[in-house]
Structure 1
Amino acid sequence: MEYIETDELEVTDVVDRIGTGDAYAAGLIYGLIHFDNEKALRFANAACALKHTILGDVNLVSPQEIEEVMAGNTGGRIKR
Protein backbone atom coordinates (compact mmCIF):
# COMPACT_ATOMS: atom_id res chain seq x y z
CA MET A 1 0.00 0.00 0.00
CA GLU A 2 1.29 3.43 -0.93
CA TYR A 3 0.75 6.56 1.19
CA ILE A 4 0.78 9.80 -0.81
CA GLU A 5 0.60 13.25 0.71
CA THR A 6 0.21 16.55 -1.17
CA ASP A 7 1.24 20.06 -0.29
CA GLU A 8 -1.39 22.13 1.48
CA LEU A 9 -3.19 24.72 -0.66
CA GLU A 10 -4.52 27.55 1.46
CA VAL A 11 -7.69 29.22 0.20
CA THR A 12 -8.09 32.57 1.92
CA ASP A 13 -11.10 33.94 0.03
CA VAL A 14 -13.68 31.14 0.03
CA VAL A 15 -16.63 32.07 -2.17
CA ASP A 16 -18.66 28.85 -1.98
CA ARG A 17 -18.02 25.48 -0.35
CA ILE A 18 -20.84 23.68 -2.18
CA GLY A 19 -19.50 21.27 -4.78
CA THR A 20 -15.94 21.08 -3.48
CA GLY A 21 -16.19 17.37 -2.69
CA ASP A 22 -17.55 16.71 -6.15
CA ALA A 23 -14.72 18.79 -7.64
CA TYR A 24 -12.20 16.74 -5.66
CA ALA A 25 -13.74 13.42 -6.76
CA ALA A 26 -13.96 14.51 -10.40
CA GLY A 27 -10.37 15.79 -10.25
CA LEU A 28 -9.19 12.49 -8.82
CA ILE A 29 -10.99 10.44 -11.48
CA TYR A 30 -9.62 12.68 -14.25
CA GLY A 31 -6.17 12.53 -12.69
CA LEU A 32 -6.14 8.75 -12.37
CA ILE A 33 -7.03 8.45 -16.05
CA HIS A 34 -4.33 10.88 -17.22
CA PHE A 35 -1.52 10.82 -14.63
CA ASP A 36 0.31 8.68 -12.10
CA ASN A 37 -1.14 8.37 -8.59
CA GLU A 38 0.81 11.24 -7.04
CA LYS A 39 0.00 13.72 -9.79
CA ALA A 40 -3.64 12.56 -9.76
CA LEU A 41 -3.90 13.38 -6.06
CA ARG A 42 -2.27 16.78 -6.59
CA PHE A 43 -4.69 17.43 -9.47
CA ALA A 44 -7.70 16.60 -7.26
CA ASN A 45 -6.39 18.81 -4.47
CA ALA A 46 -5.92 21.76 -6.83
CA ALA A 47 -9.36 21.23 -8.42
CA CYS A 48 -10.95 21.29 -4.97
CA ALA A 49 -9.05 24.42 -3.94
CA LEU A 50 -10.08 26.26 -7.10
CA LYS A 51 -13.73 25.27 -6.66
CA HIS A 52 -13.74 27.13 -3.32
CA THR A 53 -13.28 30.34 -5.34
CA ILE A 54 -16.26 29.79 -7.67
CA LEU A 55 -19.89 30.56 -6.84
CA GLY A 56 -22.33 27.73 -7.56
CA ASP A 57 -22.25 23.94 -7.65
CA VAL A 58 -20.05 23.42 -10.71
CA ASN A 59 -16.28 23.73 -10.98
CA LEU A 60 -15.84 25.96 -14.03
CA VAL A 61 -12.06 25.73 -14.39
CA SER A 62 -10.15 23.96 -17.13
CA PRO A 63 -7.60 21.19 -16.64
CA GLN A 64 -4.94 23.71 -17.74
CA GLU A 65 -5.95 26.11 -14.95
CA ILE A 66 -5.77 23.28 -12.42
CA GLU A 67 -2.31 22.33 -13.66
CA GLU A 68 -1.19 25.97 -13.26
CA VAL A 69 -2.10 25.77 -9.57
CA MET A 70 -0.27 22.46 -9.33
CA ALA A 71 2.80 24.19 -10.80
CA GLY A 72 2.71 26.79 -8.03
CA ASN A 73 0.73 29.61 -9.65
CA THR A 74 -1.48 30.35 -6.63
CA GLY A 75 -1.66 34.11 -7.07
CA GLY A 76 -5.41 33.94 -7.49
CA ARG A 77 -5.60 35.27 -11.02
CA ILE A 78 -7.65 33.00 -13.29
CA LYS A 79 -7.24 33.55 -17.03
CA ARG A 80 -10.53 33.43 -18.94
Structure 2
Amino acid sequence: MVGMIDYAGRIDHQVKIRGFRIELGEIEARLQAHPAIREVSVLALDGQLAAYLVPNEPDQDQQSLRETLKNELRAHLPDYMVPTHFIV
Protein backbone atom coordinates (compact mmCIF):
# COMPACT_ATOMS: atom_id res chain seq x y z
CA MET A 1 0.00 0.00 0.00
CA VAL A 2 2.72 2.45 -0.93
CA GLY A 3 1.35 5.96 -1.33
CA MET A 4 -2.07 5.06 0.15
CA ILE A 5 -3.66 6.93 3.04
CA ASP A 6 -6.26 5.22 5.21
CA TYR A 7 -8.64 7.81 6.69
CA ALA A 8 -9.91 6.55 10.06
CA GLY A 9 -11.86 9.61 11.21
CA ARG A 10 -11.22 12.76 13.19
CA ILE A 11 -9.04 12.70 16.25
CA ASP A 12 -10.74 15.73 17.83
CA HIS A 13 -14.26 14.22 17.91
CA GLN A 14 -15.77 17.27 16.25
CA VAL A 15 -19.05 16.76 14.41
CA LYS A 16 -21.39 18.99 12.43
CA ILE A 17 -25.10 18.84 13.23
CA ARG A 18 -27.70 21.22 11.76
CA GLY A 19 -24.87 23.41 10.50
CA PHE A 20 -23.16 23.76 13.90
CA ARG A 21 -19.71 22.40 14.64
CA ILE A 22 -19.82 20.56 17.95
CA GLU A 23 -16.93 19.29 20.04
CA LEU A 24 -18.25 16.11 21.67
CA GLY A 25 -15.56 16.25 24.35
CA GLU A 26 -16.93 19.56 25.62
CA ILE A 27 -20.32 17.98 26.25
CA GLU A 28 -18.73 14.89 27.80
CA ALA A 29 -16.62 17.03 30.15
CA ARG A 30 -19.67 18.96 31.34
CA LEU A 31 -21.60 15.72 32.00
CA GLN A 32 -18.59 14.02 33.62
CA ALA A 33 -18.28 16.93 36.06
CA HIS A 34 -21.69 16.13 37.53
CA PRO A 35 -21.31 14.23 40.82
CA ALA A 36 -23.97 11.66 39.88
CA ILE A 37 -22.08 10.48 36.78
CA ARG A 38 -19.27 7.91 36.76
CA GLU A 39 -18.76 7.51 32.99
CA VAL A 40 -20.11 9.21 29.88
CA SER A 41 -19.80 9.04 26.12
CA VAL A 42 -21.50 11.37 23.65
CA LEU A 43 -22.03 10.27 20.05
CA ALA A 44 -23.58 11.82 16.96
CA LEU A 45 -26.12 9.38 15.52
CA ASP A 46 -28.26 10.17 12.47
CA GLY A 47 -27.87 13.93 12.94
CA GLN A 48 -28.68 13.88 16.66
CA LEU A 49 -26.58 13.80 19.81
CA ALA A 50 -26.89 10.87 22.21
CA ALA A 51 -25.32 10.76 25.68
CA TYR A 52 -24.58 7.32 27.12
CA LEU A 53 -24.29 7.53 30.90
CA VAL A 54 -23.15 5.31 33.77
CA PRO A 55 -24.41 6.75 37.07
CA ASN A 56 -22.51 6.49 40.35
CA GLU A 57 -25.65 5.13 42.00
CA PRO A 58 -27.31 2.42 39.86
CA ASP A 59 -30.53 2.71 41.89
CA GLN A 60 -30.97 6.41 41.11
CA ASP A 61 -34.18 7.39 39.32
CA GLN A 62 -33.21 7.49 35.64
CA GLN A 63 -35.85 9.98 34.53
CA SER A 64 -34.89 12.40 37.28
CA LEU A 65 -31.22 12.05 36.38
CA ARG A 66 -31.96 12.71 32.68
CA GLU A 67 -33.90 15.89 33.50
CA THR A 68 -31.24 17.12 35.92
CA LEU A 69 -28.46 16.63 33.38
CA LYS A 70 -30.46 18.17 30.55
CA ASN A 71 -31.16 21.27 32.67
CA GLU A 72 -27.50 21.46 33.72
CA LEU A 73 -26.36 21.39 30.09
CA ARG A 74 -28.94 23.97 29.01
CA ALA A 75 -27.61 26.34 31.69
CA HIS A 76 -24.06 26.16 30.32
CA LEU A 77 -24.19 25.18 26.64
CA PRO A 78 -26.09 26.34 23.55
CA ASP A 79 -29.27 24.37 22.76
CA TYR A 80 -27.69 22.69 19.75
CA MET A 81 -25.09 21.09 22.06
CA VAL A 82 -27.64 19.48 24.40
CA PRO A 83 -28.09 15.81 23.46
CA THR A 84 -31.51 14.71 22.26
CA HIS A 85 -31.15 11.30 23.89
CA PHE A 86 -29.83 10.38 27.34
CA ILE A 87 -29.30 6.63 27.71
CA VAL A 88 -28.65 5.50 31.29
Q: TM-score, normalised by structure 1?
A: 0.34
Larger radius of gyration: 2
Structure possessing the higher relative contact order (Cα contacts under 8 Å, 6 or more residues apart): 1
Q: Which has the higher helix share?
A: 1
Scaled by the length of structure 2, the TM-score of the pair is 0.31
